[in-house]
Amino acid sequence: MRALFGPLGRASTYTRLAYLLLGLPIGTFYFVFLVTALSVGVGLSIIWVGIFILVGAVIAWRTFGSFERGLASILLDTPIESPPSPFTAEMSWGRRARTLVTDNYTWRSFAWLLVRFPLGIFGFVLVVTLVSVTFALLFTPAVLWFPEEIDADWVDGVPDALVWFVPVVGVLFAAMSAHAISGFGALHGLMAKLLLGPSGEQQRAELQERTDVLEERTLLAHELHDSVGHTLTMMVVQAGAGGHVFERDPEFARQALENIEESGRRALGELDRILGIMRDDFDGQRRPQPTLRRLPTLIDEMTGAGAHVSLVAQGPTDDLPAEVSRSGYRIVQEALTNVLKHAGPVLTEVRLTRTNGAVEIEVSNEAPATADTPGVVEPGSGGRGLIGIRERVAMLGGSVEAGPLPDGGYRVWARLPVGAVHQ
């Protein structure tokens, strides 16, 4: 029963009824306007006046399209997104006129205004018929109340009980009429959304643009975590080591403070650069992200922070696709950062192996230092590093393994296919 009589209790049914009733006068106005403007414009185009009339007509019916979107949103409960404007501030008047004619929304809005006339006629007739029949059925017993005022010869001989049964049919007819009006109004909304909203191509372009932005933001988040997090970890390790030997080796402590200062400046610069990009501030030039070519510099930085890292490279890596090389660098950086953070300055080996169609990266370290080693972070802190590594590898269609070694150390291994990404 709720499904049958539901539309009678919804406000949208009555706003759609109003929309269908307004369809006849509004559709008639649109039809007369279009026929008159186009006829006069084409007829006078030989003396240029008609050209201005035609341009004005095009601008007018695009404006009517905006009005129709608002009307559909209010009365049909169908919000319609405005299509993007094809005009730019630097366009000349001639270019604007050509764009006005070639923009597909111009002709989609024209089609909608033309369709509004026959739809308006049909909708008006439908609503008037359904409402009239409904009220006639509901108020049929009035022939019994006012027999002299209502000339209804057909009532003679009809049982009164049957006459009083007619309003029940009227209630059922009212429910079906509400379904018909609501459905026809919804059909108007779908058609209006198709003709007055963004085209399928524009929607796909906007979706692709939003997807690209989200992917860019995700990559920037990874970059922020990898670069700044790596630098901060090195600063923590150096500060702990410097404080541990401050009395015995002040020269080492002074060098550690200088390294911390330099690392801090570099981290601030990197943070400012990434935040600037995330604010869509593209005024400055964007520095390229580091690749595997910068790996020796990274090893030197880790050594300066007190780590013991060796690099073993087998096969050329200079010809790797840019995305593979950048991701490879970040994977090594994150793995080394985790070593410093959770194991301290232990012996660590970075091994790069270029195979046929892939590059393999392996970072393995010895057993963690004792818990009181300066700079070692407590177990359980962080945890986003390995997640970031897995996400990077997954984006490139590779595979990754990470876990403890039998001797107490730890190993991170990743395989990045070279053929899966193109520059």
Domain ranges of the chain: 2-198, 205-417
pLDDT at 379: 45
Predicted local distance difference test score (pLDDT) of residue 387? 79
pLDDT of residue 86: 79
Contact 384, 222 (CB under 8 A): no
Strand runs (DSSP E) across 326-388, as ranges? Answer: 347-355, 358-365
CATH H-level, domain 205-417: superfamily:
Histidine kinase-like ATPase, C-terminal domain (3.30.565.10)
Q: Which of 349, 340, 366 is nearest to 314 (CA)?
A: 349
Q: What is the DSSP letter of 156?
A: T
Give the SS3 label for residue 246: coil
Q: Tell me the CA distances in angstroms from 263 to 69, 228, 280, 329, one per residue in order.
A: 56, 9, 26, 18
The torsion region of residue 383 among left (phi > 0), alpha (psi -120 to 50) and beta comes to left
Quick check: 235 and 260 in contact, CB under 8 A?
yes
List, run by run, the mean pLDDT of 10-residue segments along the chain (423 residues).
Answer: 84 93 95 93 86 90 91 90 79 83 88 93 95 87 57 54 76 92 92 82 59 63 65 70 72 75 69 61 54 87 80 88 88 86 86 90 84 48 68 87 90 85 41
State residue 413's pLDDT score. Answer: 94
pLDDT value for 2: 77
Alpha helices in 139-199 (DSSP H): 142-145, 160-196
Residue found by looking up tokens 């429910």 in the block: 175
Residue in the block written with tokens 């609501």? 182
Closest listed residue to residue 239, CA positions, set 297, 305, 300:
305
Residue labelled with tokens 């007509």: 57
According to the model, what pLDDT value does residue 270 have?
A: 66
| pLDDT given for residue 114 in this prediction | 93
List Cα–Cα distances, 287 to 277, 323, 327, in angstroms.
11, 15, 16
pLDDT of residue 64: 93
The total number of residues shown for the chain amounts to: 423
Question: CA-CA distance, 176 to 170, in Å (whole number)?
Answer: 10
pLDDT of 22: 95
Pairing of strands 399-404, 410-417: antiparallel
Q: What is the pTM (predicted TM-score) of this model?
A: 0.49
**Nearest of 141, 139, 140, 137 to residue 174 by alpha carbon:** 137
